[in-house]
Amino acid sequence: MNGVLRYFARVGHVWIENPLSLLTFSVRFGEATLLAISRLVTPKRLQVLSKSMRQTVKAFMRGIVVIVGVGAFAGFGLGVVTAALGEILRPHFEAVIMPVVLRDVLPLLLALVLTARTGATIAAKFASSATRGSTETLTFGAHAIELEVLPQIVATVITSGAFFLILVACVGTGYFSGGNQISFSPADIQDFLSNETFSQAVVSGLWKSILYGAIVAYTACAFGIQAAERFISRREETYDLHYAVWESSVTSITMCVVLTILLWKEI
């Protein structure tokens, strides 16, 4: 019975308290953004820029192997399916299914990978920051958010766009090779990109991927910082660290799925 009650309490926390926490964090994030903008004309801007670039390189190197693996599996799997359809059904597949794959499926697939890889890492990093050093001096004011949160979001946004283009390349390779990488030629990619329907779908998918990446990073930062602040006040390290990762993942995926549904016909 206690387990059931804890479960419903956790569900209520996810769907009621967490949205309010995101709104509250938005105010603090807005203050940090204004602070960063005001420093664009000062030498201090180099702190955020250099940290953003370093974080971008780290995020790219940590995720590239996973993205290539997922993209290769999805691309050549899709190629096998299209090869099995034959010449009669393939034009219909190109006209109906492929634009949806490029515009909606790949961005959502990327969001899942980012949530499991990048989002979980960011949430755990901030949630555990209260255990590293003095909790009496640890604060998450506008300056700290500017130096710690903004680089994470910038890095995730940049790598999201790069990773999506890598996924598109893998899908295009697998699609035009019919699942057989030996038969692939560079001209196939040129044909792929010259298709107006495909190119429009790729542009829409790119913007969605960037948006989803920002959502994943922002949510992970918000819940990770929230968990650290709870630990400072209540000393509940294990509980908050565990649920910061879980709740940020659930919230990020839910938001991305809802946006995918809302934007299905809009973009």
Q: Which residue has the tokens 């979001």?
A: 153
Phi, psi of 255 (to 5 degrees): -65, -40
Q: What is the pTM of this model?
A: 0.83
Query: Is pLDDT at 132 greater than 80 in this prediction?
Result: no
| 12-56 residue pLDDT tens | 555 567 777 788 888 888 877 777 777 766 666 677 788 889 999
Question: Structural domain boundaries of the chain?
Answer: 2-262
pLDDT higher at 210 or 240: 210
Average pLDDT over residues 85-103: 81
Q: Which pair of structure tokens corresponds to residue 104? A: 């909606």
| Residue 265 pLDDT | 62
List Cβ neighbours of 74 (8 Å cut-off, separation of 6 or more): 106, 109, 167, 170, 171, 174
Per-residue pLDDT reduced to its tens digit, 229-240: 776 666 554 456
